[in-house]
Every structure is written in C-alpha cells, then in structure tokens.
C-alpha cells in the first residue's frame, strides 16, 4: 500500500484539524490557522482529482464504523468511499475555487471584527469539508448526513454579520427553504432504500424504475430536493438574499461551488440510479430554460452589485440544468452523439460558471472592501483607482456574456449546438437561451460600467486604493483560467470526457471518438488554421481598446453610439436603476407574473400553511383522532409494500 492510495484522506485530515483547532482558538489566529489548513486541503483535492481524471486512478474503500448484529442494519454502519471520475471532476472544482477563495480571504476577512472570527473559521473549514465529503461518499445515508452538515455550516456563514438584521433573515430563509428540500431528499431516499432496494443504501446497489408510479415519485422527490439547493425555479427565492449577505469569498464558494453539488447528484440520479426517459428529459430541460430566463430577467433590475450576481447565478445554473435535460431527452431518443455534446455542455458550463462567477463575486468584494458600497447607483469611475480589479471584472464580464474567445462562449456554444441540431422543442429552448445570453450581456454592461467607468462624483476618491496583492492575484488567476479554457477547449475537455466513460457508458464510445477526432484536428492537426483565427479574434477585441487608451488619450471624449436611435444626452447620465427602463416596460407583463407568483409562493401560501398547521396541532391533542390517523397510515403503507 503506497501513500498515494490514501491521498483522499489528506483533505479530511486538514479540514478536521482546522475545525477542531478553531473550536478552541479565537480571533485572527483562528482565521490564519483555518486559511492555511483549508488551502492545504484544497491543494490536495486538486492533486487527487487530477490523479483520477488524467491518470485513471480509482479510490474505493468501505470502512466499518461500528459492528451491527443485524444484517439488515449493517448497511448504515459502513462508511463507503468511492471516488470515480464524476466525483473527481467536482472535487477539482471544490479544490480550485476553494484555494482561490481562501487566499483572497486572508486579507479580505480583516474588514470584519475579530470577535466572532473563531466561529467563522470553524464553519468555513466545516463547509469545505462537508462539500468534499458529499461528493466522495457512495452511500445514501452518509450523503444525507454531509448534505445536512453542508447546509448548516453554510447557513452560519451567510448570517456571519450578526449585527445586521438582513443577514440574520437571509440565513434563516436559506436554512428554512433548503431544509424543506432536504426533507424531499430524505423521503425519496427512504422509499428508494426501504421499499425499492431491500434496505441497501449503497449507490452501487440502488436501482429505480422511473416508469413505475412509485419509482417516478421517488425520482421526483429526490430531484425536487436537489433543485431547491441548486436554486432552480421555482425554488430559487432563497439565493438572492443569502449569497449577497455572506462575505464575498464565501459568496464565491456558495455560487461557484455549493449550488453545483446538487448537479453532481442529479447526474447520479438520472444516469446511475435510473434510466434516462423522455418525460424526465422534457421536465428537466423545461425547468432549466425557465430558470435561466427568470434569473437573467430579474438580474437586469438589480442595483446591488452582489444581488445582481446572485440572480445571474440562478440564470447560469439554468444553462447547466438545460444541458442535463437535453442530454436526458436525446438519450431517450437514442441520439447519443448530441446527447453526449449536451452532457459535455452541462459539465463545461458548470466549471466555466465556477470560474467567472467566483471572479465576479471577488471583484464585487474588492469594491466593497475599498469603498464600503454595493449600490451601483452610487459607484462609478473606479477603474483608474482599482486597475487590477477593473481588469478582472472586465474579463469575467466578457466571459459570462459569452464573448469569444473566453470560456463562457465555448460552454454556451455547446448548449446551442445540442439544442439547435436536435430540433423540435429543444430548438425553441435553444433560441430562448440565445436571447437570454444577450440579456446577460446587458446585465454585465450595467455591472462593469456602473462600477468602473461611469463618471460620477459621489465617492471620495482620495480614500480609494487598490486591494492588497493577495486579493488582486486571486481575481486574476480565475480570469486567466477563463481565457485558457476558452482558447484551449482541449484542457477542460480532457477533464470532462473521462466522466462520460463512467456515468454515461452508452454514449461515451460514440462521443469520445467524435470529440477526439474534432479536438485533435483543432488542437494538433491544424495549427495553421486554428491559431491565426484565435489571434484575429483577440486582436479585433483588444486593438480598439488599445487605440482609444494609447493613441487618442485617456482624456478624449466620444459620442455614444445608440444603434441609430435618437437619445437625449441627459438620459445618458441616469443612475444604474434607469439603465434598462425601456426594456423593463416592454417586458412588464413577464415581471408582473413573476411578482405575483413570488407573492403567492413566498407570502400567501406559506401563511396559509402555517394557519393550517396550527389547526392540525390542535387536532393532534385528541388521542382518538391520532389513533385513526396512525391506523390509516399503516394500512396505506401495507398496501404500497404489497403492490
């Protein structure tokens, strides 16, 4: 047995030690200890994931936690570890974003009081540990344990600023909503384990026939529970409140990593626990396109920088879910090549979003660190005071908008290819996704210009300085990866293709041959054609900027092109809240429907449920009624098991 065989234990050891030490140590010392050990854990995750994805190593162990005399209950006493390529892919994302966020947080966290730093550091280490454990365990029981731990620790990070009522409310709302989602997962898991799979909790043994009524209900419950944590519409309402209130490097982890963990389990659910079906493909892709539409449209209305980014996270998780749903639908139609492209698009955009959205949250945190502001109406003109942050925000904004040659374009292009070529309903979804991409561009024109280029005088410029180098470096590292993953798609594809070989073996052979031929042609056999094209795109993008800054001078003024329409110049000085007033008026019906549904789902219905629950509690005091209810439940359970 070599040391390499136990490398998967290193993140567990580092983060467990950090959690224990910060339980006893307080103040800045706890923050430093947590940062060092968390960074070590994240780097070991990167090493582990690369070994699995590129060198085909596997890690599968069963640890006996305690002896059980009953064979029936022995499954719950076994701690199963199985790190396959799908787990490794998500471990890579956790390690990469976790490492960058931890480095950023070394200086950023100093803006907060040291009074509760020990509690924050404990939950920070526990949060990363629980995400890691969630994707390496191969047992439904332990998955639920670490899933709940992930929710609990992240809730404390969201409500870290205890003196702010808004942060406390955001944490409470986040925990309450996601806890309801956890109950869906638990109920679905109980049915899967105790009814459908003879008390076996191992992933390897779970098989659900989604074509049968009980199997369909089981998959639906588990999907709904996962959708809540992923902030999929209509379960998204917690995210715009929670992510902005967390410290910015935690927001990067929440948006860049945590809402991706449910996607990991969705892929397991649809490709491992059951067989992809046409109904599920339509349902999942429909949910995905609704999510990306709602997220982008409501991001357009935001004037809080982090709240805009939060709604944008909802949008891009919609792209990911659309890719997954498209792959399920096409597999059911036996179009394996396009199904593989769609699944690659899902995984490609997943890591792309982790990169550029984490970078954007870090830039928003840098601006808040330097100015204390998040209001786009009050910010502006910071590019000359914070050049590194402005550069990072520009690259990340271009990436998320899908502008070539950045990585966002490559991920979205695969989504469009799989939907457009499939035709039918997916063609409609692809066209809508393409339209929403233009709304995304509008969102980040607003984000970038509202913070860095609008010429306003509401900020005391004499106190504004660029953030410390560790914070600037963290932002720029992610931006460099955005460029690398866009210009050299073979890099992320070399991490993605091994996942298809394990989770979707029925489409792997077809897709791997096709992708290998095409990527080989682009990356190896056609240097003469590919790289001049890349250079041409880069030059056409940046030469105008270089010309404006270097040749014409920074003080020059230019007339704004308004697509040929007449616009009063005074309107160009409007604050950020007035950027897209005309657009909001044109699509006013969509916003009114969304506002009505929000009022019903978040306001009226929960209140009525609370009133009904209070009445039920009153009835529960009557023993006769409760005996009758218990008898009915037992009879129904026996009928279900008998069926």
pLDDT band at 521 (very low <50, low <70, confident <90, very high): very low
Arithmetic mean of pLDDT, 89-105: 94
Task: At 299, list the tokens.
Answer: 């991001």
pLDDT tens digits for 398-425? 999 888 888 888 888 889 988 988 888 8
pLDDT tens digits for 346-405? 999 999 999 999 999 999 999 999 888 888 888 888 888 888 999 999 999 999 988 888
pLDDT tens digits for 194-245? 877 667 778 888 888 888 888 899 999 999 999 999 999 888 888 998 888 8
Checking if the pLDDT of 147 tops 80, the result is: yes
pLDDT at 352: 93
DSSP-assigned letter for residue 202: B
Arithmetic mean of pLDDT, 119-133: 92
How far is residue 511's CA from residue 506's CA, in Å, rounded to a whole number?
10
Residue with the bigger pLDDT between 512 and 544: it is: 544
Task: At 238, list the tokens.
Answer: 């917690």
Residue with the bigger pLDDT between 275 and 640: it is: 275
Task: At 56, list the tokens.
Answer: 């085909």
CA torsion 291→297→300→302, rounded to 10°?
A: -60
pLDDT at 511: 58
Query: Are the beta carbons of 46 and 95 closer than 8 angstroms?
Result: yes
pLDDT tens digits for 428-479? 999 999 989 888 988 898 899 888 887 665 666 667 888 899 999 999 999 9
User: Mapping DSSP to helix (H, G, I), strand (E, B) and coil, where does residue 423 land?
Assistant: coil
User: Mapping DSSP to helix (H, G, I), strand (E, B) and coil, where does residue 375 land?
Assistant: strand
Query: Are the beta carbons of 127 and 136 closer than 8 angstroms?
Result: no
- Report the length, in residues, of the chain: 643
How far is residue 20's CA from residue 22's CA, in Å, rounded to a whole number?
6
**Burial of 270 (C-beta count, 10 Å sphere; 0-12/13-18/19+):** buried
Question: What is this structure's pTM?
Answer: 0.86
3-state helix, strand, coil in the chain (%, to 5): 75, 5, 20
DSSP-assigned letter for residue 304: B
Alpha-carbon dihedral sign for residues 37, 40, 46, 49? negative
First and final C-alpha spacing in the chain: 48
Q: How many CB atoms lie within 10 A of CB 491?
A: 14
Q: What would you measure as the largest C-alpha separation in the chain, in angstroms?
A: 88
pLDDT at 517: 43
Query: Are the beta carbons of 139 and 79 closer than 8 angstroms?
Result: yes
Query: Are the beta carbons of 222 and 206 closer than 8 angstroms?
Result: no
479 CB-near residues (< 8 Å, 6+ apart): 356, 359, 391, 392, 395, 396, 399
pLDDT at 547: 64
User: Which stretch, 85-89, 114-118, 519-523, has highest mean pLDDT?
Assistant: 85-89
Arithmetic mean of pLDDT, 140-144: 90
Q: Annotate 37-48 with DSSP letters as a single string.
A: HHHHHHHHHHHH
Domain range annotation of the chain: 1-255, 276-528
Q: C-alpha 572: how far from its chain's center? A: 35
Checking if the pLDDT of 54 tops 50, the result is: yes
pLDDT at 475: 93
How far is residue 493's CA from residue 347's CA, in Å, rounded to a whole number?
9
Task: At 146, list the tokens.
Answer: 């670490």
Arithmetic mean of pLDDT, 252-273: 92
Alpha-carbon dihedral sign for residues 291, 508, 353, 487? negative
- Summary mean pLDDT of the chain: 82
Query: Are the beta carbons of 10 and 44 closer than 8 angstroms?
Result: yes
Q: Pick from 358, 365, 256, 250: which is nearest to 305 by CA? A: 365
pLDDT tens digits for 555-600? 555 565 556 565 555 445 566 666 766 666 666 667 777 666 766 6
How far is residue 234's CA from residue 227's CA, in Å, rounded to a whole number?
9
User: Mapping DSSP to helix (H, G, I), strand (E, B) and coil, where does residue 61 land?
Assistant: strand
How far is residue 408's CA from residue 319's CA, in Å, rounded to a whole number?
11
Q: Pick from 252, 313, 226: which is nearest to 124 by CA? A: 252
Rg of the Cα atoms in the chain: 25
Arithmetic mean of pLDDT, 528-544: 58
pLDDT at 283: 93
DSSP-assigned letter for residue 139: B
How far is residue 58's CA from residue 265's CA, in Å, rounded to a whole number?
19
pLDDT tens digits for 6-45? 888 899 999 999 998 988 887 788 888 989 999 999 999 9
Q: In the beta sheet, which residues pair with residue 202?
A: 139
How far is residue 297's CA from residue 315's CA, in Å, rounded to a whole number?
9
How far is residue 52's CA from residue 9's CA, in Å, rounded to a whole number?
14
């Amino acid at each position: 047995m070599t040391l390499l065989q136990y490398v998967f234990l290193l993140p567990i050891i580092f983060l467990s030690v950090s959690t224990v030490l910060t339980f006893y140590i307080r103040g800045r010392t706890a923050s430093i200890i947590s940062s060092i050990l968390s960074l070590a854990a994240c780097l070991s995750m990167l090493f582990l994931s690369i070994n699995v994805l590129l060198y085909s190593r596997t890690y599968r162990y069963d640890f006996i936690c305690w002896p059980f005399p009953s064979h029936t209950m022995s499954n719950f006493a076994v701690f199963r570890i199985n790190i396959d390529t799908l787990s490794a892919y998500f471990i890579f994302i956790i390690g990469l974003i976790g490492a960058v966020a931890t480095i950023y947080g070394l200086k950023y966290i100093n803006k907060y009081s040291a009074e509760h730093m020990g509690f924050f550091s404990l939950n920070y280490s526990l949060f990363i540990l629980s995400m890691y454990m969630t994707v390496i365990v191969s047992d439904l029981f332990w998955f639920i344990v670490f899933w709940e731990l992930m929710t609990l620790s992240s809730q404390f990070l969201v409500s870290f600023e205890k003196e702010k009522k808004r942060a406390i409310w955001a944490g409470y709302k986040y925990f309450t909503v996601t806890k309801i989602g956890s109950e869906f997962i638990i109920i679905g898991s109980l049915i899967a384990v105790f009814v459908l799979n003879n008390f076996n909790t191992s992933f390897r043994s779970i098989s659900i026939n989604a074509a049968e009524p009980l199997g369909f209900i089981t998959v639906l419950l588990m999907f709904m529970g996962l959708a809540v944590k992923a902030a999929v519409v209509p379960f998204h309402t917690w995210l715009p409140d929670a992510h902005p209130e967390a410290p910015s490097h935690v927001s990067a982890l929440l948006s860049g990593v945590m809402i991706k963990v449910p996607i990991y389990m969705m892929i397991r659910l649809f490709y491992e626990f059951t067989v992809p079906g046409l109904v599920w493909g339509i349902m999942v892709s429909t949910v995905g396109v609704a999510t990306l539409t709602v997220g982008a449209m409501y991001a357009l209305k935001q004037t809080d920088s982090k709240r805009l980014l939060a709604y944008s996270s909802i949008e891009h998780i919609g792209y990911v879910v659309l890719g997954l749903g498209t792959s399920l639908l096409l597999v059911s139609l036996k179009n394996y090549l396009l199904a593989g492209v769609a699944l690659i698009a899902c995984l490609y955009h997943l890591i792309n979003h982790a990169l550029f959205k984490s970078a954007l949250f870090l830039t928003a945190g840098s601006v808040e660190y330097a100015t204390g502001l998040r209001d786009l109406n009050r910010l502006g003109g910071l590019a000359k005071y914070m050049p590194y942050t402005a550069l990072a925000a520009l690259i990340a904004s271009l990436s998320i908008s899908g502008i070539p040659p950045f990585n966002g374009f490559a991920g979205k292009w695969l989504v469009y290819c799989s939907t457009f070529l499939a035709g039918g309903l997916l063609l409609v979804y692809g066209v809508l996704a393409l339209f929403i991409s233009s709304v995304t561009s509008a969102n980040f024109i607003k984000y970038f210009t509202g913070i860095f280029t609008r010429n306003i005088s509401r900020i005391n410029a004499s106190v504004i300085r660029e953030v410390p180098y560790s914070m600037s470096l963290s932002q720029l590292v992610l931006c460099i990866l955005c460029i690398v993953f866009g210009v050299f798609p073979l890099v992320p594809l070399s991490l993605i293709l091994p996942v298809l070989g394990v989770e979707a073996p029925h489409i792997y052979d077809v897709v791997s041959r096709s992708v290998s031929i095409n990527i080989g042609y682009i990356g190896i056999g056609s240097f003469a054609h590919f790289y001049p094209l890349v250079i041409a795109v880069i030059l056409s993008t940046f030469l105008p900027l270089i010309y404006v800054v270097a040749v014409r001078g920074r003080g020059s003024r230019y007339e704004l092109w308004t697509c040929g329409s007449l616009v009063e110049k005074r309107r160009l000085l409007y604050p950020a809240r007035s950027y897209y007033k005309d657009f909001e008026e044109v699509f006013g019906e969509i916003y009114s429907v969304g506002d009505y549904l929000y009022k019903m789902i978040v306001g009226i219905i929960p209140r009525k449920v609370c009133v009904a629950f209070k009445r039920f509690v009153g009835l529960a005091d009557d023993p006769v009624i409760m005996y009758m209810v218990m008898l009915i439940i037992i009879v129904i359970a026996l009928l279900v098991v008998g069926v």
